Amino acid sequence: MTKDILDLAGIGIGPFNLSVAALLDQHPNVNAAFFDSKPAFSWHPGMQLPGARLQTSCLKDLVTGADPCNRHSFLNYLVQHRRFYPFLSADMTAISRREFADYLGWVAGRLPSLRFSHGVESVRFEDGLFELRFVNGQAPVYARNLCIGTGIRPNIPPACEALPPGRSLHCIHLMERARDFTGQHVAVVGGGQSGAEVMLGLMDGLWGQPASIRWFSRRANFEPLDETPFTNLYFSPGYVDAFQGLPENRRRELVHYQKLASDGISPDTLQTLYQRLYEYPLEHPGRPAPELLPGRSLYAVTDGAPMNLLTRNRLDDRFEEFRADQLLLCTGFDHGLPSCLSPLNTRLHLDTMGRPSLGKAFNLDWDGPADRAIYTVNQGRFSHGIAESQLSLTSWRSAVIVNHLLGEEHYPVAEQGVSVRWRSETAHDNPPMEDVPKKMSPSGIESI
Ligand SMILES: Cc1cc2nc3c(=O)[nH]c(=O)nc-3n(C[C@H](O)[C@H](O)[C@H](O)COP(=O)(O)OP(=O)(O)OC[C@H]3O[C@@H](n4cnc5c(N)ncnc54)[C@H](O)[C@@H]3O)c2cc1C
């Protein structure tokens, strides 16, 4: 029996691989299939909080930036659902997360290449092909190329790792079932967008009426997402191109320096939150007002009833203790290759931090044949920049991957736009003149 060999097997069906699948849907000559362990498509259902909004323009959907006439666009979703004119009249700067999830689900329902309930257990490379084996024992699948889109994993602070289940809960699971924190002392840990949304939910009584609400953030303040135009250029193909070839330590510095461009709190959310806090004593007389504790890192948590939290205040460098019955962790996510790829680990080239190194087309640098690629989506924050883990360049990245797979520039991916020249055009490694001021800073980002 001959094997049915795929040109591309996608592992994971979140928005990023869904976008690759949506572009490939227009290429019947490419035999592709995408696998996900979930029984059906969903987008972070545990964080579908009422009123939560997308932090990205809805035009940055699965396909439009690469192929605006593609039938899987957000605009086509609106037209097919007879919502195009009502949408325009709503005049929203950002659509709801719920609507975006519905759009993604609509696309997923139209793509024959998706296979759900197919958790990938292991991937091996033999005789020039990748072999995918599945958790539920389905027949193995063989492919010439892979696209890894297994997404993110909740980051649990070391102080909480040993807590018994139920005492701490990562926010990504919050809405997976009904919860009631009535009468409990609740501590929210993490001062980004998720933390702000969870605070709003608690104040709105989404999970009952807690006895107290405290919000801890390591950041010095509750800081806004920078959405201004020049910062938004970090989320453009031109900037990714400039970033990609920089030395590793410079890329690392830039990712930290640009943190608030991707991880800050939406200004609208901050405004709503502040107003809600201001009105809280009037709306809830007799109830203790939520307490906001910026600049605190969680130092240690001792289990008990209640738990004891030891924090360190970075402002005055002092330790404090707090009581809590329930910890809600809004502590972000870790990126990394999935365990199913571990049979290939020794064949991957890593950077000095142990992260897989990625080529221009989001292909892992590995010791396999040149005509076999392992593409990854959402693994390149330190190789391609902060746009990598966001929706902004989803369709562009998919176009780069599909072009590489097809071996031709089917989609236009080179950008022309505002004339910011990020990289030097001259090629001197050292200053060409003798008389450079002696006290010039070597290269620190802060000193630019
Ligand atoms: C609550 C929330 C809101 C966000 N909002 C925005 C926003 O407004 N704007 C923005 O730009 N970014 C946003 N992001 C960031 C980013 O866009 C999302 O995290 C996005 O979902 C990432 O997509 P992904 O495809 O990489 O991974 P995911 O959506 O995490 O999907 C990965 C998929 O892989 C599957 N999988 C994992 N392992 C296996 C395996 N071994 N076999 C088979 N399947 C597997 C999982 O079941 C999952 O379905 C948000 C993130 C979160 C958490």
Domains of the chain: 5-152+335-406 (3.50.50.60), 155-225+264-329 (3.50.50.60)
Looking at the predicted structure, is the pLDDT value of residue 1 above 90? Answer: no
Q: From atom 1 of ligand 1, which residue's Cα is the shortest distance away? A: 47
**Sign of torsion, CA 139 145 151 152?**
positive
CA distances from 334 to 143, 314, 350, 365, 385 (A): 28, 24, 17, 21, 16
376 CB near ligand 1 (under 6 Å)? no
Q: Count the Cβ atoms, other than its own, within 10 Å of residue 177.
A: 7
Kindly give the number of the ligand 1 atom that is closest to the alpha carbon of 194. 1
Radius of gyration of the chain (CA): 24
Cα 12 to middle of ligand 1, angstroms: 9
- The number of residues in the chain equals 448
Cα 103 to middle of ligand 1, angstroms: 15
- Residue pair 358/348 in contact (Cβ under 8 Å)? The answer is no
Kindly give the number of the ligand 1 atom that is closest to the alpha carbon of 171. 1
pLDDT reported for residue 448: 40
Looking at the predicted structure, is the pLDDT value of residue 255 above 90? Answer: yes
Place of tokens 């987008």: 43
17 CB near ligand 1 (under 6 Å)? yes
Nearest C-alpha neighbor of 27 from the set 77, 67, 81? 67
Which amino acid is residue 51, in one-letter code? Answer: G
Q: Which of 172, 236, 391 to mutate to test the pocket of ligand 1 (most atoms within 8 A of CB)?
A: 391
14 CB near ligand 1 (under 6 Å)? yes
394 CB near ligand 1 (under 6 Å)? no
Cα 273 to middle of ligand 1, angstroms: 26
Cα 157 to middle of ligand 1, angstroms: 20
195 CB near ligand 1 (under 6 Å)? no
Cα 418 to middle of ligand 1, angstroms: 30
336 CB near ligand 1 (under 6 Å)? no
13 CB near ligand 1 (under 6 Å)? yes
pLDDT reported for residue 416: 72
38 CB near ligand 1 (under 6 Å)? yes
Per-residue pLDDT band for 267 (boundaries 50, 70, 90) equals very high
Average confidence score pLDDT of the chain: 93
pLDDT digits (tens, 9 = 90+) for 114-168: 999 999 999 999 999 999 999 999 999 999 999 999 999 999 999 999 998 889 9
Kindly give the number of the ligand 1 atom that is closest to the alpha carbon of 390. 11
Q: Count the Cβ atoms, other than its own, within 10 Å of residue 63.
A: 26
Residue range 53-61: mean pLDDT, rounded: 95
Q: From atom 31 of ligand 1, which residue's Cα is the shortest distance away? A: 14
Kindly give the number of the ligand 1 atom that is closest to the alpha carbon of 56. 9
417-426 long-range contacts, CB within 8 A, separation 24+: 417/236, 417/238, 418/233, 420/230, 420/233, 420/238, 422/238, 422/239, 422/242, 422/243, 423/242, 423/245
Per-residue pLDDT band for 354 (boundaries 50, 70, 90) equals confident
Looking at the predicted structure, is the pLDDT value of residue 430 above 80? Answer: no
374 CB near ligand 1 (under 6 Å)? no
Residues 6+ apart with CB under 8 A from 176: 45, 46
Cα 197 to middle of ligand 1, angstroms: 18
Nearest C-alpha neighbor of 183 from the set 292, 57, 326? 326
Looking at the predicted structure, is the pLDDT value of residue 173 above 90? Answer: yes
Kindly give the number of the ligand 1 atom that is closest to the alpha carbon of 392. 11
Which amino acid is residue 48, in one-letter code? Answer: Q
Kindly give the number of the ligand 1 atom that is closest to the alpha carbon of 41. 49
Looking at the predicted structure, is the pLDDT value of residue 426 above 80? Answer: no
pLDDT reported for residue 339: 96
Measured in degrees and rounded to the nearest 5, phi and psi for residue 306 equal -85, 175
Q: From atom 14 of ligand 1, which residue's Cα is the shortest distance away? A: 390
The Cα–Cα gap between 35 and 12 comes to: 6
The Cα–Cα gap between 95 and 61 comes to: 12
Q: Which of 92, 173, 390 to mutate to test the pocket of ligand 1 (most atoms within 8 A of CB)?
A: 390
Weakest mean pLDDT among 31-40, 297-306, 398-407: 297-306
Per-residue pLDDT band for 441 (boundaries 50, 70, 90) equals low
Nearest C-alpha neighbor of 191 from the set 98, 110, 39, 294? 294
